[in-house]
A and B are shown apart, each in its own frame.
Chain A
Amino acid sequence: MADLPNTTEDLTPDTFVRGLWRENPVFVMLLGMCPVLAVTNSTVNAIAMGLATTFVLVCSSLLVSLLRHWIPKQVRIASYIVIIATFVTIVDYGIQAISLELYAALGAFIQLIVVNCVILGRAEAYASKQRLHTTLVNSLGMGFGFTLALLALGTVREILGSGSILGMPLFGESFQPWVVMILPPGGFFVLGTWLLLFNWLRLRRERRVLEQAGVAANAG
């Protein structure tokens, strides 16, 4: 039997960093939109949701990577879902033990981490093919990228919609909060604005690369 090409990735800084920026699950891949829009109405909720998702993502990716030679491909999705659901249940109890108020604020979205496509996507596309240490680094990067994106939405929405950050009031008594920002439409507004910014930056960079190439070609 011919040797298959080696598809395992070597550990580089990019393994971690691309989850934060170039392959950001929210701003670039547009995955996991349900919690992104639903629980980012305050900074605390965004951080808690981001960290809970990161925990599930890292633990399930590690276990999938560890068991990758044992799981027959016919039953892989069922196995991944059971593994993910296990860690979601653990997070569910963990958050109840940390703070019941936080648990009430996040509501059903903790249980819904099970169907977050970022996590299943990582298990299927990365963890099931890669070695343990690169999986750990990559899933941490993806998790932090997801948390950063949630934080980007949550902070803006809390400042505009409640006039506070982390529950501390920023403006004086006279500030009239922009209530729509902590309602569901505000999630779409803020997400849309962030995507606009990200795409504009990306296009500008691409145009610059093209222009430089053009200058070089003309000069030569």
Chain B
Amino acid sequence: MSVQVDTPARSERTPAWPMLRTLAGIATLSGLLVVLVYQVTKPIIAENERILTEQAVFEVLPEATSKADFILTEQGLVRAGEGASGVTVYAGYRADGRLRGVAFPGAARGYQDLIQFLFGYDPACECIVGSKVLRSTETPGLGDKIDSDPAFLRNFEALDARLNAQGTGLAKPIELVKHGTKSEPWEIDGISGATISGKAVARALNDAAQRVLPAIRQDLAILSDGAP
């Protein structure tokens, strides 16, 4: 006589193969989908970036209707696409092909993170004619007024940015002053509630102008002939 004893069935173990197959299958599918979407959206994203830059350039250089890209190198400005690497500046031209001004980027640490700007410079009046925030994480409603407050943006209608006699830097550094105390043409009238962000604008503009404006004066002829 035999006694049947129910041994508890050993817990079922999933063999390694189905796990491996599942993970490999899902990873392959995932890779395929991502690559497909990347390929489809890449030209659209590049086009969006181009339009965004163009809009920003025309915004800081009122009256400009076309633009050409130049690279700032040690030797001066060269046309973009000739293998040079460095900061890109954008020359804006009027409808008749005359140089309207040059848009150049600047950056400074704001209240939360780096703020990136685009500034417009008019070589004819040697002044800053526009400012736009390209990327910022400033506090909404307070720090982000540097890109929306009409009174603050009026600073950049004709902000004095003359070079010194040697042409190596600004004659007077651009500075932020307290709201309502602007007395000199190279001072920026601040915003109450956005002191740190306002200072960042002045610092970014001053740093970038000290570097870019001497090169613009030196190579003004290249820029003037650069109309696309």
**Chain A interface (Cβ within 8 Å of chain B)?**
41, 67, 70-75, 78-79, 82-83, 85-86, 89-90, 93-94, 96-97, 99-101, 104, 107, 161-162, 177, 179, 182-183
Contacts and interface: CB of A to CB of B under 8 A. Distances in A.
B49 A100 contact: yes
B151 interface: no
24 contacts: A67-B22, A70-B22, A72-B14, A72-B18, A72-B19, A72-B22, A73-B14, A79-B22, A85-B30, A89-B34, A90-B33, A93-B37, A94-B37, A94-B41, A97-B41, A97-B48, A100-B45, A100-B49, A100-B52, A101-B52, A161-B140, A179-B142, A182-B141, A183-B139
B140 A182 contact: yes
Interface in B1-27: 14, 18-19, 22-23, 25-27
A75 B37 contact: no
B45 A96 contact: yes
B22 A75 contact: yes
Contacts of A99: 48
Contact of B141 (A74, A100, A179): A179
Contact of A89 (B37, B45, B141): B37
B178 interface: no
B18 A83 contact: no
Q: Which 4 A-B pairs have the closest CB atoms?
A: A179-B141, A86-B30, A97-B44, A97-B41
Given A72-B22, A94-B41, A97-B44, A183 B141 contact: yes
B82 to A, nearest CB: 27
B201 to A, nearest CB: 18
A78 B23 contact: yes
Interface residues of B, number: 26
Q: What does DSSP make chain A's interface, helix, strand, loop or mixed?
A: helix
A56 to B, nearest CB: 13
Interface string B32-44: 0110011001001
A158 B137 CA distance: 18
B154 interface: no
A183 B14 contact: no
B196 to A, nearest CB: 15
Contacts of A97: 41, 44-45, 48
A183 B139 CA distance: 7
B135 interface: yes
A82 B139 contact: no
Interface in B64-114: none
A148 B222 CA distance: 56
Nearest to A104: B135
Given A83-B30, A177-B141, 6 more contacts: A67-B22, A75-B19, A75-B22, A79-B22, A100-B52, A162-B141
A78 B141 CA distance: 41
A208 to B, nearest CB: 42
Given A93-B37, A93-B41, A100-B48, A83 B26 contact: yes
Contacts of A96: 41, 45, 48
B127 to A, nearest CB: 29
Nearest to B18: A72
Nearest to A178: B141
B140 A75 contact: no
A73 B13 CA distance: 11
Given A96-B41, A100-B52, A104-B135, A90 B34 contact: yes
Contacts of B19: 72, 74-75
Contacts of B23: 75, 78-79, 82
Contact of A93 (B29, B38, B135): B38
Contacts of B37: 89-90, 93-94
A189 to B, nearest CB: 15
Contacts of A179: 140-142
Contacts of B141: 161-162, 177, 179, 182-183
A164 to B, nearest CB: 12
A183 B140 contact: yes
B62 to A, nearest CB: 21
